[in-house]
């Protein structure tokens, strides 16, 4: 495992509630799992439209491939197609390249705040990031293979090393999303070859959907006549069809797969539990909505009693988060609860408390930070 000997506290992050860790190629990230590398971005890094690779979260269900020889790497395309393909990296690079700026979020981001507690990686706020992903459109590859009329779902399989009895990370997406002009087989992230943690040499990139749809270290694409059946499709990554009582189990037949992301916002400054030595401050952060657009972000500085609209940043793209900011003067020294609430073009508004579900998926409860103004 490519981890430095011990976790160290980065002095710049000494205010973070969780210890930062040292991983080559990564900077100041929170270690959520060591066995299979899972790294969370401290919320303070959500301060730029594009997240740098060193600050981009990592979510692995199993071991990353130990060795990966680009000279022998191949991507096969098979199943319900007229002409099965075997593509090398050189073949992939001959397809037209398309770039999508996408906010990638793990379905389990925010799971740590579920009450009652749910099992799984205890992601707090930062299993999310925005990057420019580039590569061929999946649609162009599927067209070359010629999808048969029986093709309904597209399955992705990566080169993860599957330990023992763990089921392999295989999932599928509906053909319609696979044929969307923005769904990619990405070979680049922020203008450079994908880093190993992010799926080198190629990954699926299914914009606006939960991160689990975007399979890393891709080696096989298979067109299926129905949704893939496997652990990571069911029981994994499913939500109850109706709200259930917190703590209750969901009936498997009464669930559906998690697909597009929710409307959500994150406060990047000021930091939670910080003391501010000025009464004037800039409240800022990001907001995203999967396949929808953010229409407004509102800020409360009085624990939700009143709300004011934030200014939106100028950078925008279909599947990317928006930066927002709100200049505020605290009326007097004291303790304050600051909250951010996003609304999107589908009319969705972040709830004060997101409906509980047994896996803690898509938790988009309104973000809050507590601060002390000492001036
Ligand atoms: N692809 C493979 N092959 N194996 C994995 O464990 N994790 C998925 C997805 N693709 C995963 C995978 C999940 S759950 C998420 S949230 C995203 O990758 C995270 O992408 P990142 O690590 O590049 O941030």
pLDDT, tens digit, for every residue of 112-139?
999 999 999 999 999 999 999 999 999 9
Distance 289 CA to ligand 1 centre (A): 19
DSSP conformation class of 326: E
Q: Is 126 in the pocket of ligand 1 (CB under 6 A)?
A: no
Report phi then psi at 147, rounded to 5. -70, 130
Please report the pLDDT score of residue 331 as a whole number. Answer: 97
Instruction: Tell me if 55 CB under 6 Å of ligand 1.
Output: no
Which residues of the chain carry a pLDDT beneath 50? 1-17
Using the mean position of ligand 1's atoms as its centre, give its distance from the Cα of residue 309 in Å.
34
Q: Is 137 in the pocket of ligand 1 (CB under 6 A)?
A: no
Predicted pLDDT at 22: 82
Burial class (CB in 10 A: 0-12, 13-18, 19+), 208: buried
| Secondary structure of residue 161 in the 3-state scheme | strand
Atom 12 of ligand 1, nearest CA residue = 215
Distance CA 152, CA 175 (A): 5
So what's the pLDDT on residue 20? Answer: 65
Q: What does pTM read for this prediction? A: 0.94
Pocket lining: 200 vs ligand 1, CB cutoff 6 Å = no
In short, whether 236's Cβ falls inside 6 Å of ligand 1 is no
Other Cβ atoms closer than 10 A to 230 = 15
CA of 363 to the centre of ligand 1 (A): 18
């Amino acid at each position: 495992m490519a981890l430095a000997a011990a976790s160290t506290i980065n002095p710049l992050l000494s205010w973070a509630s969780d210890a930062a860790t040292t991983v080559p190629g990564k900077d100041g990230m929170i270690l959520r799992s060591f066995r299979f590398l899972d790294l969370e971005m401290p919320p303070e890094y959500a301060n730029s439209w594009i997240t740098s690779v060193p600050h981009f979260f990592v979510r692995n269900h199993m071991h990353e491939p130990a060795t990966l020889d680009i000279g022998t790497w191949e991507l096969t395309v098979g199943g319900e197609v007229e002409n099965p393909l075997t593509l090398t990296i050189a073949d992939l690079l001959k397809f037209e390249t398309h770039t999508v700026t996408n906010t990638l979020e793990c379905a389990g981001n925010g799971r740590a705040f579920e009450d009652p507690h749910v099992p799984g990686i205890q992601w707090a706020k930062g299993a999310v990031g925005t990057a420019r992903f580039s590569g061929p459109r999946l649609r162009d590859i599927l067209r070359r293979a010629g999808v048969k009329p029986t093709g309904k779902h597209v399955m992705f399989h990566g080169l993860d090393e599957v330990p023992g009895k763990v089921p392999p990370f295989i999932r599928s997406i509906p053909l319609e999303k696979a044929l969307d002009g923005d769904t990619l087989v990405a070979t680049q992230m922020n203008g450079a070859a994908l880093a190993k943690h992010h799926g080198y040499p190629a990954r699926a990139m299914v914009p606006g959907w939960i991160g689990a749809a975007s399979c890393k270290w891709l080696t096989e694409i298979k067109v299926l006549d129905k949704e893939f059946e496997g652990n990571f499709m069911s029981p994994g990554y499913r939500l109850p069809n109706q709200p259930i009582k917190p703590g209750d189990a969901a009936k498997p037949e009464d669930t559906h797969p998690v697909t597009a992301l929710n409307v959500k916002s994150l406060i990047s400054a000021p930091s939670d539990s910080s003391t501010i030595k000025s009464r004037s401050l800039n409240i800022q952060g990001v907001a995203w909505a999967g396949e929808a657009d953010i229409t407004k972000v509102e800020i409360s500085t009085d624990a939700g009693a009143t709300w004011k609209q934030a200014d939106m940043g100028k950078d925008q793209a279909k599947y990317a988060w928006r930066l927002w900011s709100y200049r505020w003067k605290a009326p007097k020294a004291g303790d304050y609860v600051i909250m951010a609430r996003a609304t999107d073009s589908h009319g969705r508004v972040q709830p004060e408390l997101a409906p509980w579900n047994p896996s803690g998926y898509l938790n988009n409860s309104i973000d809050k930070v507590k601060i002390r103004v000492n001036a």
